[in-house]
Structure 1
Amino acid sequence: MSESPNGVATPASIVDALKTVAGNPPKVRASFAKGWCVRGTYTPSDRAGDVTRSQSFTRPSRVLARFSVGGGNPDVADTNRVLRGFSFRLGDGDHRSDILTESAPVHFARTPEQMLAFLEARIPGPDGRPDEAKVAAFSAANPETLNQANYVAARPLPASFAGTTYWGVHAFPATSARGETRFVKFKVAPVGDDVTLTEQEAETKPADFLHVDLNTRIGTGDVRFNVMALLDRPGDPVMDVTIRWPDEDSREEVRLGTIVITGFEPNQACDASIFNPANLADGIGHPPDEIFAARRTAYAISLAKRR
Structure 2
Amino acid sequence: MSEFPRGAASPAAIVDALKAAAGDPPKARASFAKGQCVHGTYIPSNQAEEITKSRSFTRPSRVLARFSIGGGNPNVADTENLVPRGFSFRLGDSNHRSDILAQDCPVHYARTLEQMMAFHEVRVPGPDGKLDRERIRTFSAANPETLHQVNYIVARPLPASFASTTYWGVHCFPATNAMDETRLIKFKIAPVGGDVTLTGPEAKAKAVDFLHDELEQRVATGNVRFSVLALLDRPGDPTMDLTVRWPDEDHREAVRLGTIVITGIEPNEACDGSIFDPASLAEGIGHPRDEIFAARAVAYVISLKMRR
TM over 0.5: yes
**Which runs of 5 or more residues in structure 1 are unaligned?**
1-5
For 1:27 and 1:104, locate their aligned partners in 2 and report how far apart those are by CA, in whole Å: 26
Inter-partner Cα distance in structure 2 for 1:108 and 1:178 = 36
- 1:133 maps to 134
**Equivalent position of 1:79 in the other structure:** 79
- 2 CA distance for matches of 1:128 and 1:190? 39
Indicate whether 1:171 and 2:172 are aligned.
yes
- Give unpaired runs (5+ residues) of structure 2: 1-5
1:10-31 deviation per Cα after TM superposition (whole angstroms, max 9, x unaligned): 0000000000000100001000
Distance 1:119 1:248 in 2: 28
Please state whether the residue corresponding to 1:158 is helix, strand or coil: coil
Residue type of the alignment partner of 2:234: R
Q: Deviations over 1:136-172 (max 9, x none)?
A: 1111111001000000011000110000000000000
Please tell me whether residue 223 in structure 1 is matched to residue 201 in structure 2: no
Map 1:1-307 onto structure 2 (within 5 A): 8-81=8-81, 82-307=83-308
Q: Output one character per residue of 1:23-60: Cα deviation in whole Å (capped at 9) or x when no partner.
A: 10000100000001000000000000111100000000
TM-score, length-normalised on structure 1?
0.97
- One-letter amino acid of the counterpart of residue 117, structure 1: A
Q: Is the 8 A contact 2:14 2:117 kept in 1?
A: yes
Partner secondary structure for residue 197 of structure 1: coil
TM-score w.r.t. the length of structure 2 is: 0.97
After TM superposition, give the deviation of residue 230 of structure 1 in Å.
0.2
SS in 1 for 2:29: coil
The alignment yields a C-alpha RMSD, in angstroms, of 1.0
Distance 2:86 2:258 in 1: 19
Q: In the alignment, residue 50 of structure 2 is paired with which amino acid? A: D
Give the C-alpha shift of residue 7 in structure 1: 6.3
**What letter matches 2:48 in structure 1?**
A
Residue 126 (structure 1) shift: 2.6
DSSP-derived class of the 2:147 partner: helix
| AA of the residue aligned to 1:276 | D
With 212-221 and 27-36 compared, the bigger mean Cα shift is at 212-221
SS in 2 for 1:116: helix
Contact persistence 2:7–2:13 (CA under 8 A): no
**Deviation sequence 1:163-205 (CA, Å, 0-9, x none):** 0000000000000122100000000000012111112111111
Q: Deviations over 1:69-93 (max 9, x none)?
A: 1110000010001210000000002
Residue 3 of structure 1 corresponds to: none
Question: Does the Cα contact within 8 Å between 2:70 and 2:86 map onto a contact in 1?
Answer: yes
| Secondary structure of the corresponding residue to residue 196 of structure 1 | coil
Offset, 1:125: 1.4
- 1-side partners of 2:129 and 2:190: how far apart? 37
Paired positions, count? 302
What secondary structure, in the 3-state scheme, does the structure 2 residue paired with 1:249 have? helix
Distance, in Å, in 1 between the alignment partners of 2:71 and 2:130 is 15
Identity of aligned residues (%): 71
Match in the other structure for 2:3: none
